[in-house]
């Protein structure tokens, strides 16, 4: 429940209750005539508290939730005559919202780190598989065959035969993916 609603529920009307049914929706904040009429029915100290609470409410952002990328706006300085319970409640709510935002940001960072770690593991596993395939291909390659002579010429541009075989296997896999997706 809103702090203003809490305050209004604790107040007792100074005049006898009217016989007309109460309005189901509270008057709008911008409806100054209705608010002034209600405040006139209250005593002066209570009227000042309600005015201060309404002033604080109107200075708050319209949406209580903030996006993860924006910082919450600082709360305005409360009036010195404001109800301490309302001030404490507002401060507690702001601290809880900030703590929740920090938790959400930490969780998002943790999820990103886990995803990056998993991608790195998959990349290393793929490289190991290709390295294994390339080594197996090199073991089966006959140097005197047409493919063996072609590979010797192809491999002269690499630091090792294994690096050349890895590049060749990756190129073959890329062509295979392109052929499958092109059909």
Average pLDDT on 100-128 reads 95
Average pLDDT on 133-143 reads 94
Please tell me the distance from the alpha carbon of residue 108 to that of residue 145, in angstroms, as a whole number: 55
Distance linking the first and last C-alpha atoms of the chain: 62
Please tell me the distance from the alpha carbon of residue 12 to that of residue 80, in angstroms, as a whole number: 23
Cβ atoms of residues 94 and 66 within 8 Å: no
Domain residue spans of the chain = 120-182
Is the pLDDT higher at 180 or at 114? 114
pLDDT digits (tens, 9 = 90+) for 85-101: 788 888 899 999 999 99
pLDDT for 85 equals 79
pLDDT digits (tens, 9 = 90+) for 171-182: 999 998 888 887
Quickly state the pLDDT bin for 13 (edges 50, 70, 90).
Answer: low
| pLDDT of 29 higher than 50 | no
Please tell me the distance from the alpha carbon of residue 52 to that of residue 6, in angstroms, as a whole number: 14
Quickly state the pLDDT bin for 135 (edges 50, 70, 90).
Answer: very high
3-state secondary structure 157-183: CCCCHHHHHHHHHHHHHHHHHHHHHHC
């Amino acid at each position: 429940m809103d702090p203003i609603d809490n305050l209004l529920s604790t107040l007792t009307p100074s005049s006898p209750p009217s016989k007309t049914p109460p309005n189901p929706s509270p008057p709008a904040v911008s409806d100054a005539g209705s608010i002034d009429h209600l405040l006139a029915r209250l005593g002066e100290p209570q009227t000042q508290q309600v005015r201060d609470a309404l002033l604080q409410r109107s200075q708050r952002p319209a949406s209580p939730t903030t996006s993860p990328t924006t910082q919450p706006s600082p709360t305005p300085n409360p009036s010195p005559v404001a109800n301490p319970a309302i001030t404490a409640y507002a401060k507690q709510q702001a601290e809880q919202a900030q703590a929740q935002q920090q938790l959400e940001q930490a969780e998002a960072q943790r999820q990103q780190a886990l995803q990056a770690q998993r991608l790195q593991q998959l990349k290393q596993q793929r490289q190991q598989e290709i390295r294994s395939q390339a080594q197996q291909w090199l073991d089966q390659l006959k140097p005197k065959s047409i493919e063996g002579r072609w590979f010797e010429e192809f491999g002269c541009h690499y630091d090792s035969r294994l690096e050349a075989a890895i590049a060749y296997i990756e190129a073959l896999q890329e062509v295979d993916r392109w052929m499958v997706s092109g059909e």
